[in-house]
Amino acid sequence: MSQRTKIVAEIWGYRGWNVTSITYERSDGTPITPVGGFVSADVRVVIHVERRWTSRCAHCGAITGKVHERLGARRWRDLPWAGRVAEIEYAPVRVACTRCRTTGVERLAWADPYQRQTQRLQQHLALQAASMPVTHVAALNGLDWGTVHRAEHAALERWDKTRTPRRCATSGSTRSTWAAATSSRTTSSRS
């Protein structure tokens, strides 16, 4: 592993994954070799990774080493690196889980199932969309409006799953129950 690859692996920051190589491509997919460490700004950075630990089932999270099928390489768009579009390339495996008896693509640290953006890019887009229109976020990041909208929705769903329902301090019930109780008291006192 070269010094550059070690630095990128440290910045990338996902445990259990190794950065095997870094390549540069034009927008049409033509590979570029950096000359003297210089790469033009319109070039895409592709980070090739491999799994260091055993795969996990995407459904139940169980550790499983039983590979059902090896899939082709896929790419996920990540946050821009040094002003360049960055993509993560990995060939996932379909695992046969003995715990939940399903066969599905392994759980990935950086992306949810059926997504083509990393979770941190989705969160970044959702934060930008909170302060400006979605069309502006799409233009700023070079993405389609629908892609930004879906990424924002996925990030908000992930955030909503972490929240606990708020309880009312007076009775210990949820706010909607308390609001219904107070509204019925006010209508009965008026009659």
Residue 151 has pLDDT above 90, yes or no: yes
Percent with pLDDT over 90 in the chain: 34
Residue 36 has pLDDT above 80, yes or no: no
| Contact predicate 7/46, CB 8 Å | no
pLDDT at 63: 87
Flag whether 34 is in a domain. Answer: no
How far apart are the C-alpha atoms of 34 and 14, rounded to whole Å?
26
Pairing of strands 44-51, 84-90: parallel
| pLDDT higher than 80, residue 128 | yes
Per-range mean pLDDT, top range of 11-15, 16-20, 154-158: 154-158
- For the whole model, what pTM was predicted? 0.76
Indicate if the pLDDT at residue 187 is higher than 80: no
pLDDT at 170 over 70: no
Q: Confidence class of residue 91 from pLDDT cuts 50, 70 and 90?
A: very high
- Report how far residue 67's alpha carbon sits from residue 69's, in angstroms, rounded to the nearest whole number: 6
- Please check whether residue 151 lies inside any domain of the structure: yes
Is residue 132 domain-resident? Answer: yes
What's the total number of domains in the chain?
1
Is the residue at 150 inside a domain?
A: yes
What is the C-alpha separation between 173 and 108, in angstroms, rounded? 38
pLDDT for 137 beyond 90: yes
In what side-by-side order are the strands of the sheet with 44-51? 31-32, 17-25, 44-51, 84-90, 74-81
* Span 47-58, average pLDDT: 87
What is the full DSSP assignment across 28-83? TS-EE--BTTB--TTPEEEEEEEE-S--B-TTT--B---EEEEPPPEEEEEEEETT
Cβ atoms of 12 and 4 closer than 8 Å: no
**Domain range enclosing 156:** 117-165
Assess whether pLDDT exceeds 80 at residue 190: no
Query: Residue 140 falls within a domain, yes or no?
Result: yes
Average pLDDT value for the chain: 83
* Closest residue by Cα to residue 72 from 100, 99, 91: 91
Give residue 62's pLDDT: 87
